[in-house]
Structure 1
């Protein structure tokens, strides 16, 4: 299985990006074909083909992912994980274009098959040995020309592609495949040869003869001996002290070879696989788990004693974990059905716990999903499930117990997953997705301590990618639903294929991250739109403030009639705002607009003095400016003339009452309402530390903070933009949505109220681990 996974990795690495690399050459070929074609329909055909090519380019990311999935599916079928039953597929009519697609695929497969016939024959013989060792029937070559042609056809089967473009597509795909297949097949053959898979009539070197798939081991009837010594009656473990051939890697039982037994190779006297014995070809399994200095990479041989650079940090964390666990045990009832019986309980070995977890890995994870819905229940659920699985494998939980390292691994994974759900907005679907990953992560934690200290660990990167895909994702858009589906597929793949080989985490992460790149770009665009919208609101607020200052001077003196005051407060005020937004305070139009206001005030004075002739002359001169002012409010010409008539009607009575007027309130500002909800103390005087306000002024775009919103939930917020007008900071969440717009003083006030913390862990895993440390630190302090 490990060798097949390596072949799959090579296939995806060398072939996975081929569909996206074809379009530039195809476009050049289309241009060349049109230049050589003198027909009248050539431009129209070129336009149709280029339009179809443009559509393909828009879907290139989806095509690459689909092609990679189709290539990977060939390995799943080879390993009998997902074999199609062609007889159960419904029959129906297919489109003529699909027939052309399949015919083109068959021609492609035949051409490549003839070209690489010698090396393919050698590869087929080696793969036949692989199927014999696995006890599988002969299955088609997962990287043969037919499979690669089928993967390409299935990638584009839903696209409407003209015949000329389809021919170019297959032609360039065959050309690109021809460039890499020779080297690829040579690497695969060399890899199989290095692992002992030779001719079809020979068994691979250093490997046992093929056996039927083993049945579950029978429960032991004898007493347990000392840890690592096996069962007394010979039906349990093949032995923890046996020695195999030198150089074959440390066995799970402490010996070498496939299980630590000198005579069984992982099989007991009855010919069955001993519990905890390594499967043939999987290499060594570290027996120390978290106890070892650096952990051992599963499948690569025995672990080393070299200490990790952050082992001191992990050691401190484990000490806190032990103190926390001792405090919880002291609070629980001392009598327990799992108490030691006369001191006869032995510690389970790491390989035994890993074997039990592997047995349970593919089973429904509802119990973990329910535990994640509560707080602090996941660790108990993990222990209960492992104990139940141990009983099914013949390990009596009444006579065994977890070692300190195993307790640490279970508790850390449980605290990690609980913290993820407390710090991220994860929906019901995400809870079930994470529940499936609990046991695989327990296995990783048992065998590789780097999970908790190495930022680039494959399992950490996958968990970060899944959290990024699921956090705050309600599946409201097609893109969000596709992201959830891809994250679910990644978790299901880990459950189906993880067998102590971390490569599956890398593969699942690579496939999910390709889609996340598009998500990150959408988040960046969302943040940019939020910044532009905020800047627009600030410019509008600034223009309104300037217009209100100008209006207040006109309304303060002299006393004005009601009609003139209403016109100035309404249409003229709106006109000023529009001119300020579009052309600024230094423009000629702005000076004309303020001059119109002064002229209307003077016209009202002429009306009060009864100077009708001068008033008429003044209004006739102002008519174009007044109509333009009304037009900026959205009125057409006839409506503007009607508004002018209403204004004139209000000026024909010299003795109309005149008074001083206040500037009416403008429309409500959403940002003011938002700050009133967020800032500690509402709209009262802010209380903050000036030094902290200076620190807030140093925040730049890209800096992360942690906020507590008005519902008391923690929010990760990034400074996305700093206003050039007000120096306020726009904060957005991890989905690019606006969270808050606030000044440095307001942010300092939030900090003083305990609702803002500077800095934020860059990844979900690190953030969750920080919360785990804080939780343990608080618990240790209480005890």
Structure 2
């Protein structure tokens, strides 16, 4: 329910240049709500969101059984598993009811404080039969997996539940929806089900997958409810509290607060100059009264603007999505919606206006979001997600300049991880789709629950960052595979060039028979490439292959002189080397014998025509589709670049970020993932770990000269967007 303007307004409003920071709202000092009512509310949330989990287990398992049977060529599949699954389906209502009762029972026991250790994890510790040991072991593994995946959120939730226990006047009890409790509820729900050994692990895996669809959102919502009710971890007396506080400590290398405020002041001065020179941003300062007298418009207080934004926060985000798509200015769209919202609250837009500080907040958020879309490869699906976040970020900017001053600001961190999750993400893989779904759910939660409490941004950022950590591990693996693939191609290209040079040296010595020339071009050269790749330049096998090529050219010359006996002796000595060469090219024994006979026949005829063999065209590219217009034959002769810029490009190291302009004119974030030790070329990958470019320093300098590459970008999306915002304002002020 929307609070009135008087309820939101602070007794003594801070000046425009010194607003109240959201960081000053400590949960520990907030008035706490009734603990029993709060416990009932989170119990209701847990039962609602977890209650349907058992019903979602069966269809995916049935599909997996059918797929397994199809791959194995079994028409009926595992009949025992299908029969057991059918029995589970028939009893689904009873299982769902039992599971919901167990979840609710956890909260009832939390309030009643059963006498058991806090870390009891919810798994029963009574003696079990030998046939149940596997069942309980699987439950323990499940609890460990859930605990590791949601460690950060469970840590926060445990701390807040301790505060709730203290308010109830009792020692800390176990988390009613902790990892062990959820595993124990699952075991107890299906305790009397007859499950084949092959079906049980499938049921556990599917349960974990179904939980992953709801737990992140559930933990986030319950943490938000507890924090909003005043149950912050700082008051729980928990030993974890100092660790959580330490995380927020600013980086020692960061700029000082004074420097940040000076830079922000300079930014606002540029913003004012830009706004004064932009006709679309101008406003009428007066209105005509009923008597026709020209009256100055009243400036809305910050609390009034925040109240209007709160009213509009849950409205459809289409106006902002259209602006992000390029249909007008986002700041203008925000102002238009705020004006209409003010009218709905009884604040006549004809008689009121935004104060300068509030206009700054609106313009900065509008320009910030536009810069994010201009400098990051955001797809259509991300546009609506960001549009939903516009008004929550306007509300943050209105009350807390720290959004633009502090790199560790919770709302800033959330925007960074959301951008990392969405940039270039087309949902092509199940992991990417899960990332998009979780990100959309987090954005919806911010819209639904944000009410001047920055903790919701911190929780959401931590939740998404934990999921992104798994994505980063996959990206690291993809980067490694991409670098290995490029390195393999470069080694192959280098070996081909070295073999081609060796072939040219031997073909240019003297005229050769067609048989010897064909052998050297078709087989000896390939054999040399394989030897270079396997054993390397200068190895004994490499020397032997070179010696074979030299020996064949010498034997061909002896044959031309009619020295048949010497030729025969030399060929007998070379027979094994020739056979090995043909075998390495993939020829079987019969084809190898045919080639050997052909060589003997040709060299037995002194008068056979001989000629200088033409060299085959060298292969100068490792992949016909690799570089497109960047591929230049004969070095860098066709590139237009500044040698000094190319020298700076050579200083790039793995981990640095660049921005490329793709064929569609979209900016793509590209990271230097690897530098070739052979050629010095740079492998650039996107945020998904997919290769976007392999180029030399000269080629990168050429792209920079063409305006298709931006170097020296910030790794954090928010920082890069702010950098682009400042450059945009600087250019605009310079033009004005």
TM-score range, shorter chain: 0.5 to 0.7
Partner of 2:481: 529
In structure 2, C-alpha distance between the alignment counterparts of 1:361 and 1:370, rounded to whole Å: 17
Partner of 1:320: 270
> Match for 2:42 among 32, 52, 75?
75
- Give the match's secondary structure for 2:586: coil
Partner of 2:163: 187
Partner of 1:311: 261
The answer to whether the aligner puts 1:776 opposite 2:726 as a matched pair is: no
In structure 1, C-alpha distance between the alignment counterparts of 2:56 and 2:514, rounded to whole Å: 82
In structure 2, C-alpha distance between the alignment counterparts of 1:571 and 1:455, rounded to whole Å: 62
In structure 2, C-alpha distance between the alignment counterparts of 1:80 and 1:355, rounded to whole Å: 33
Q: 1:639-678 residue pairs with structure 2 within 5 A?
A: 639-670=591-622, 677-678=629-630
Indicate if the aligned counterparts of 1:679 and 1:749 stay in contact, CA closer than 8 A.
no
Q: Classify 1:542/1:422 alpha carbon distance in 2 versus 1 (closer, same or farther; 3 Å).
A: same
The answer to whether the aligner puts 1:592 opposite 2:544 as a matched pair is: yes
CA deviation vs aligned residue, 1:507-554 (integer Å, no higher than 9, x gap)? 111111111001111111122222212221221122122211211111
In structure 2, C-alpha distance between the alignment counterparts of 1:398 and 1:357, rounded to whole Å: 18
Indicate if the aligned counterparts of 2:493 and 2:620 stay in contact, CA closer than 8 A.
no
Partner of 2:389: 437
- Give the match's secondary structure for 2:521: helix
- Give the match's secondary structure for 1:634: coil
> Match for 1:699 among 626, 647, 652?
652
Q: More displaced, 377-386 or 674-683? A: 674-683
Partner of 1:741: 694
Bigger relative CO (Cα 8 Å, ≥ 6 apart): 2
CA deviation vs aligned residue, 1:700-722 (integer Å, no higher than 9, x gap)? 22233344456554333332222
- Give the match's secondary structure for 1:659: coil
Indicate if the aligned counterparts of 2:288 and 2:294 stay in contact, CA closer than 8 A.
no
Give the C-alpha shift of residue 462 in structure 1. 0.8
Q: 1:81-480 residue pairs with structure 2 within 5 A?
A: 94-95=88-89, 118-119=112-113, 163-168=132-137, 186-191=162-167, 310-329=260-279, 342-374=294-326, 376-480=328-432
Give the C-alpha shift of residue 563 in structure 1. 2.2
Q: More displaced, 697-706 or 467-476? A: 697-706
Indicate if the aligned counterparts of 1:369 and 1:431 stay in contact, CA closer than 8 A.
yes
Q: Classify 1:652/1:686 alpha carbon distance in 2 versus 1 (closer, same or farther; 3 Å).
A: same
Partner of 2:238: none
In structure 2, C-alpha distance between the alignment counterparts of 1:755 and 1:608, rounded to whole Å: 60
In structure 1, C-alpha distance between the alignment counterparts of 2:735 and 2:391, rounded to whole Å: 31
Give the C-alpha shift of residue 745 in structure 1. 3.8
Q: Classify 1:432/1:330 alpha carbon distance in 2 versus 1 (closer, same or farther; 3 Å).
A: closer
Indicate if the aligned counterparts of 1:704 and 1:759 stay in contact, CA closer than 8 A.
yes
- Give the match's secondary structure for 1:512: helix
In structure 2, C-alpha distance between the alignment counterparts of 1:637 and 1:72, rounded to whole Å: 81
Q: Which has the higher helix share?
A: 2
Q: Classify 1:191/1:760 alpha carbon distance in 2 versus 1 (closer, same or farther; 3 Å).
A: farther
In structure 2, C-alpha distance between the alignment counterparts of 1:174 and 1:753, rounded to whole Å: 55
Q: More displaced, 542-551 or 466-475? A: 542-551
Indicate if the aligned counterparts of 1:365 and 1:432 stay in contact, CA closer than 8 A.
yes
CA deviation vs aligned residue, 1:673-702 (integer Å, no higher than 9, x gap)? 756724899953555544444433333222
Q: More displaced, 691-700 or 568-577? A: 691-700
Indicate if the aligned counterparts of 1:462 and 1:505 stay in contact, CA closer than 8 A.
yes
- Give the match's secondary structure for 2:321: helix
Q: More displaced, 481-490 or 676-685? A: 676-685
Q: Classify 1:108/1:429 alpha carbon distance in 2 versus 1 (closer, same or farther; 3 Å).
A: closer
Q: Classify 1:167/1:83 alpha carbon distance in 2 versus 1 (closer, same or farther; 3 Å).
A: closer
Q: Classify 1:679/1:390 alpha carbon distance in 2 versus 1 (closer, same or farther; 3 Å).
A: farther
Q: Classify 1:417/1:344 alpha carbon distance in 2 versus 1 (closer, same or farther; 3 Å).
A: same
- Give the match's secondary structure for 2:670: strand
> Match for 2:492 among 523, 540, 562?
540
In structure 2, C-alpha distance between the alignment counterparts of 1:647 and 1:337, rounded to whole Å: 103
Give the C-alpha shift of residue 724 in structure 1. 2.1
Give the C-alpha shift of residue 613 in structure 1. 4.7
The answer to whether the aligner puts 1:730 opposite 2:683 as a matched pair is: yes
Q: More displaced, 184-193 or 522-531? A: 184-193
In structure 2, C-alpha distance between the alignment counterparts of 1:171 and 1:754, rounded to whole Å: 56
Partner of 1:605: 557
Q: Which runs of 5+ in 2 are unaligned?
A: 2-21, 29-37, 59-85, 125-130, 171-227, 232-255
In structure 1, C-alpha distance between the alignment counterparts of 2:520 and 2:479, rounded to whole Å: 38
Indicate if the aligned counterparts of 1:413 and 1:442 stay in contact, CA closer than 8 A.
yes
Indicate if the aligned counterparts of 2:490 and 2:622 stay in contact, CA closer than 8 A.
no
In structure 2, C-alpha distance between the alignment counterparts of 1:486 and 1:579, rounded to whole Å: 51
TM-score relative to the length of structure 2: 0.68
Q: 1:478-557 residue pairs with structure 2 within 5 A?
A: 478-557=430-509
In structure 1, C-alpha distance between the alignment counterparts of 2:570 and 2:50, rounded to whole Å: 91
Give the C-alpha shift of residue 282 in structure 1. 9.1
Q: More displaced, 465-474 or 312-321? A: 312-321
Give the C-alpha shift of residue 661 in structure 1. 2.2
> Match for 2:720 among 759, 767, 770?
767
Give the C-alpha shift of residue 477 in structure 1. 0.9
Q: More displaced, 499-508 or 730-739? A: 730-739
Partner of 1:52: none
CA deviation vs aligned residue, 1:454-482 (integer Å, no higher than 9, x gap)? 11111111111111011011111111111
Indicate if the aligned counterparts of 1:547 and 1:573 stay in contact, CA closer than 8 A.
yes
Indicate if the aligned counterparts of 1:680 and 1:753 stay in contact, CA closer than 8 A.
no
In structure 1, C-alpha distance between the alignment counterparts of 2:536 and 2:413, rounded to whole Å: 50
Alpha-carbon RMSD:
4.6
Give the C-alpha shift of residue 776 in structure 1. 0.8
Q: Classify 1:511/1:103 alpha carbon distance in 2 versus 1 (closer, same or farther; 3 Å).
A: same
> Match for 2:528 among 576, 583, 587?
576
Partner of 1:291: none
Q: Classify 1:567/1:90 alpha carbon distance in 2 versus 1 (closer, same or farther; 3 Å).
A: closer
- Equivalent pairs, count: 575
Q: Classify 1:512/1:72 alpha carbon distance in 2 versus 1 (closer, same or farther; 3 Å).
A: farther
Partner of 2:14: none
Give the C-alpha shift of residue 627 in structure 1. 2.1
Indicate if the aligned counterparts of 1:559 and 1:659 stay in contact, CA closer than 8 A.
yes
